[in-house]
Amino acid sequence: MELVTLGIFCAALVGAIFTGVPTVCALLVGLAAFCIYAWRWSGSVRRVARMCWEGIAPIAKILGMLALIGVLTGLWRAAGVIPAIVYYAVPLISPGVFLLATFLLNCFVSVLTGTSFGTAATVGSICISMAGAMGVPLFAAGGAALSGAFFGDRCSPISTSALLVADLTGTDFYNNLKRMVKSAAVPFVLTCVAYFALGLLIPASGEAGDMAASLASAFAVGPVVLLPPVIVFALALMRVDILVVIGAGIASSVPLCLAVQDMTMADVVRTAILGYVAPLPQVRALSGGGLVSMLDAVQIVCITSAYAGIFKETPLLAGIDRVVWGMSRRLSPFGVTLTTSVFTAIISCNQTLAIMLAHQLCSDLDQNASDHALDLEDSVVLVAGLVPWSIAGAVPLASMGAPVAASMALAIYLFAVPAWRLLSGWFAARGRARCAVR
C-alpha cells in the first residue's frame, strides 16, 4: 500500500512536469492519495483531518511571512529601493567582471528580499538583459544570477526557507543564520573567484546600454530610498521578531511611495495587493510582487505541510526511513542528509516539500537540533535549486529568460556549499582519527 501511494504521488508529479500542469495540481493529487492511505490505516476521517491540521498549524507564522514578503517586494519596487540598487550598480559593471558583479548584485538583493523568486524576477532579469547587450553567454549569466538569488534565499534575515527550517527543527532562527554565514564563508569566496576567472575567460563585448538612464527616468533614485533596507537590517541585528522586521520594511516604504515617487494612497494599496506595474517598457522587468504573487507559494506550503502531518503519524515513509538509517552507519550525518536531499528534491519538485521530507527522514540521526538545521540549510535548501523540473530553480531562471539546465550547471555557489561541507567534514574526521591513534 505504501509503494502504491508513493507511486501515485510520483506519477502525478512526473505527469505535471511533462504536460505543463501547475505543480500545485500534482500536489493536490498527492494529498488525496496520502489522505486515503491515512484513512485506510487509521480508519477515521476525523483523525486524518487532525493529521493534516497538525502539519499546517506549526507553520502559520511562515504563511504570514510569505504574505508580508509579497507586500514588501511590491512596495520596494514602487518605492524605488530595488531600482536604486540597480541604478548605482550598473555603472560599475564591465564585461570582464560581469559574472562576478551579477553574482554579488543578486546576493545583495536576495538578502534584502529573502526570496530567490523575487530576486530573479527583478535584478536577475535585468542582469540577463545586460548580458545579452554585452555578449555574455546567457547560461553563464543565469548561473551567476541563480547562485546569488539562492545566497539570500538561504540566509537572509527575512528568508522563509530559513524560518521553515528553524520551525521544523525547533532551533533559534538568528543563531541558525549566524552558523550559516560561517559555513558559507569559504564557498562564497571560492564562488567569487570562480566567476571572476570565468569572466576573464569568456569573451564578451559591448556595454550595458542605457539601463541606468531608464531607471532614473522612471524612479526617483536618491539615497533616501535605501532607508527601508537599512531599517530591516538594523532590526535584524537586534534580533527583533521576523514578522516585525518585515512589517517595518513595509511601513518605511509607504512614505517613500507617497512623497518620493508621487504615488497616491490608492496606488500604494493596489501595489501591496496586486503588485507593481512599471511605467516604462525599458524597466518592465521590475514589475511584480504584491500579496497575490505569493498565493501559489502559500498553497504549496499549506499542502506540503499537511503531508508532513500524515508522514509523522503513519508508517508511509517507514521503508525509506530504514534506508536512511542504513546509510547513517556508513556516512556522516551531513552525508546522509545530502544524499537524502537529492532524493527529496528530485521527487518533490519544490523546495518546501523537499525540506520537509529531508527533515522528516533525517531528524533521528545522531546529532543535535542545531547541527541538523545547518545540515538542511547546507544541503536540501540549495540542492532543490539544481533540479531542472523543480520550481525552486526552474521558475527563477525562466523568469529571467535564461536557459534552465545549462544555467544550473554553472550555479557554482549551489554546488560549492555542500561540497565544502563534505570536504571539511572529511578532513575533520581524519584529524579525529589521527588523534585517536596517538
Please give the single-letter amino acid code of residue 230.
V
Residue 18, CB half-sphere, CA atoms under 13 Å: how many? 6
| Cβ proximity of 387 and 393 under 8 Å | yes
Please give the single-letter amino acid code of residue 151.
F
Give a three-class secondary structure readout of 414-434.
HHHHHHHHHHHHHHHHHHHHH
pTM above 0.95, yes or no: no
Bridge partners, residue 288, by sequence = 276
Q: CA 421 to CA 377: how far, in whole Å?
A: 11
pLDDT tens string for the chain (438 positions)?
A: 788 888 888 888 888 878 878 878 888 999 999 999 999 998 889 999 999 998 888 778 888 888 888 898 889 889 988 888 888 887 777 777 889 999 999 999 899 888 888 788 778 888 887 887 777 888 999 999 999 999 998 988 888 889 889 988 999 999 999 999 999 999 999 999 999 999 888 766 655 556 777 788 888 888 899 899 899 888 888 888 888 888 999 999 999 999 999 999 999 999 999 999 887 777 777 788 889 888 887 888 888 888 888 888 888 887 777 888 788 778 888 999 999 999 889 887 788 888 988 998 888 887 899 999 999 999 999 999 998 888 888 888 887 878 888 999 999 999 999 999 999 887 766 665 566 555
Three cell numbers, residue 81: 529601493
User: What DSSP string describes 168-205?
Assistant: HHT--HHHHHHHHHHHHHHHHHHHHHHHHHHHHHS---
Nearest-5° angle of CA 279, CA 281, CA 282?
A: 105
Q: What is the DSSP letter of 91?
A: G
Q: CA 236 to CA 414: how far, in whole Å?
A: 25
